Amino acid sequence: MERKLASIQRIESISPIEGADSIEKAAVLGWEVVVKKGDFTPGQLCVYCEVDSILPDRPEFEFLRDRKFRIRTIKLRGQVSQGICFPMHILKDYRLKNVVAGTDVTEFLGIKKYDPQAEAEQKETERVTAIHNGRIDKLLKRYTWYRKLFMHGRSDRMPMPSFITKTDEDRIQLFPHACTEWAGVRFIATEKLDGQSATYYCIRNPRKGLFGKKWLFGVCSRRFQLLKPDNSSYWTVAIEQDLQNKMTSWCENNGMGLIIQGEIIGPKIQGNKYKRNKYEFYLFNATAYEAGLKRVYPQSSQKTIADDLGVDTVPIITGDYYLQGTIAQTVATASGDSLLADTPREGLVVRNYSRKISFKIINVDFLLKYGE
């Protein structure tokens, strides 16, 4: 499900900010947002835009031009503010069928998500497309012999296979009643790494025939399957870790397919905050796949699978994690340093496998330090 970057929400409460005369704090879902004093009242509907939203270049958003129209985590008078609230009249030019809390208005407002990895992949796709659509290439495409020789199978990527679930946990603030609903539930908390999401799979070949391969191996970025080996971080990890042979052996021994997902950190990835001189892969999800059925392995089994494949798992913070009394108190537990480098950790990923609950808690210190 696509993230609701902008939605109609209700102001849950308004609180004063110590030492501030013109601003105050609004609670929306589980977020705390600094707003102009008197602009909103408890119970009032508003249009809430989340952190990482990129608003369109329009007059009403002109005040965000120096921030390149991107909404980031900021601190005003000592109060952390995540997101921005607009009055409902921002939607005056749109006809909405439902004007109720929770209505997604992302597309109505033309808001895009700030996603460096997706942007990089899109630029690379455009670059390859441009190469394949040069003037000479366009000229020669009119000839059948050229199309047969050079156009068949030229694409080096395709959309992510349908049997793979994209990795993108929701933030805890989107579950405003989590601390009461899941009070006393035991979770496993792992460190959230700021890198590139990667997926590798090995599944049975449904069309292997008499001499075909029994198992199919695939390499995927966050959005695409990368069909040909290249010098990308995804294929570099696959080749250096010998994942095709290791995963094929694992599948043969266990009689089922396997999907592993993880984070790659290293040079030129998100500013290389972990100061690595080569690409490193950290597994955070392992799934059995057989005959169209999937089963996610719990953390203990993931560690065993990672050991079998010779890869690392994301650092485990604790196997006994419990939510605090409030969202704000729970968010505070994400503070701390990374276990991989001398830098604030991006946050926590929290899971309970038996109840299929998972979410992420982002470290505010990380967001402020890196302007996120």
The predicted-structure confidence for 289-298, as pLDDT tens digits, reads as follows 998 899 999 9
Q: What is the per-residue pLDDT across 45-59, written as a single tens digit (0 to 9) for each?
A: 999 999 999 999 999
> What residues are paired with 358 via a beta bridge?
351
**CB-CB contact of 63 with 54 (8 Å):** no
Residues 6+ apart with CB under 8 A from 37: 20, 21, 22, 23, 24
Which tokens go with 286? Answer: 């392992």
CA distance linking residue 363 with residue 372, whole number of Å: 11
pLDDT recorded at residue 141: 53
Which tokens go with 244? Answer: 């095709």
* pLDDT higher than 90, residue 132: no
* pLDDT higher than 60, residue 147: no
pTM for this predicted structure: 0.85
